[in-house]
């Protein structure tokens, strides 16, 4: 869901936020808020627009901009626009996602210490967090 934007209006299934039935966001929100992945569906092919709009107070506000997702990212890097997928949210989320992928690929439970930014129960996995050293001049951008 992070970083995704609604499709062109011509492809909308309803006149509301994330308007396509195939978007898993609705099933995820149904599970998170109502423990029912089909909560927002009237039928297998139609939304309950009333239920979706009732959730609107819980959804984030998307800043108005004429830039698309990729342009927004570049403008945010240059300080000209606020990122629609804020770095302070995406950074930790990406770290958590990466740790989950490592644990799955290694088929083991990994214990991560948030303060030291180290995996404490698996030296091999912890070594993977370091990786190759950055190129000269890029060191400051590789600090966690």
For the stretch 18-71, pLDDT in tens is 566 666 777 777 777 778 877 777 665 566 667 777 777 776 676 677 788 788
For the stretch 94-143, pLDDT in tens is 888 889 889 999 999 999 998 898 999 999 999 988 778 888 888 887 77
Give the pLDDT confidence score for residue 125 in this predicted structure. Answer: 93
The answer to whether the CB of 63 falls within 8 A of the CB of 82 is yes
pLDDT band at 2 (very low <50, low <70, confident <90, very high): very low
Distances (CA, A) of 142 to 7, 78, 116: 34, 18, 15
Chain centre to alpha carbon of residue 122: 27
The answer to whether the CB of 17 falls within 8 A of the CB of 6 is yes
Q: Say what the pTM is.
A: 0.45
Give the pLDDT confidence score for residue 102 in this predicted structure. Answer: 92
What's the mean pLDDT when you consider all of the chain?
77
- Of the candidate ranges 10-14, 88-92, 108-112, 127-131, the one whose mean pLDDT is the lowest: 10-14
Alpha helical stretches, state H, the chain: 25-34, 49-54, 69-77, 87-106, 123-130
């Amino acid at each position: 869901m992070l970083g995704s934007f609604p499709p062109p209006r011509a492809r909308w299934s309803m006149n509301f936020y994330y308007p396509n039935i195939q978007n898993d966001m609705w099933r995820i929100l149904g599970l998170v808020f109502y423990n029912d992945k089909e909560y927002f569906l009237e039928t297998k092919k139609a939304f309950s627009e009333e239920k979706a709009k009732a959730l609107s107070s819980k959804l984030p506000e998307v800043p108005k901009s004429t830039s698309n997702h990729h342009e927004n990212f570049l403008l945010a890097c240059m300080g000209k626009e606020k990122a629609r997928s804020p770095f302070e949210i995406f950074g930790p989320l990406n770290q958590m996602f990466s740790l989950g992928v490592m644990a799955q690929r290694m088929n083991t439970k990994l214990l991560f210490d948030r303060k030291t930014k180290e995996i404490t129960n698996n030296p091999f996995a912890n070594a993977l967090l370091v990786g190759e050293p950055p190129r000269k001049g890029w060191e400051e951008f590789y600090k966690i």
